[in-house]
Amino acid sequence: MTSRVLMVSRMKPASAETVARLFAEHDQSDLPLKFGVTSRTLFHYQGMTLHLIQAEQEIFDNLPQLHTDPSFQHLNGRLAEHMTPLVDDWQGIRDSRAMEFYHRSWI
């Protein structure tokens, strides 16, 4: 079964191209495949970025390993110049996750 996660954060609208480039560079590494990521889609809307990740398995199960990976840390450092958490009391990546409350599939 495919897992989908939607992450939401603030982003400067002028940073969309830079953020897309940073993710494209990162996605050339083996890290996404190592964690079962099958696709990544980025949207921006009214100062927010919506980051849809689809994976073969629940990606949050691998967060401890993911957070210690140097390339993940490097990407997060570079993204921090362009993106900020949506909530003021943000404690970690789980606080950026949008909760799915309805889904229907016809396939």
pLDDT, tens digit (0-9, with 9 covering 90-100), for 68-101: 889 889 999 999 999 999 988 888 878 899 999 9
What is the pTM (predicted TM-score) of this model? 0.87
Listed residue (87, 83, 84, 82) closest to 98, CA to CA: 87
pLDDT in tens, 10-51: 999 999 999 999 999 999 998 888 888 999 999 999 999 999
What does DSSP assign to residue 97? E
Q: What pLDDT does residue 69 have?
A: 87
- What pLDDT score was predicted for residue 65? 79
CATH architecture type of domain 3-83: 2-Layer Sandwich (3.30)
- Amino acid identity of 48? M
Residue spans per domain, the chain: 3-83
Tell me the C-alpha distance between 97 and 81, whole Å: 20
Residue 93 is inside which H or E element, if any?
none
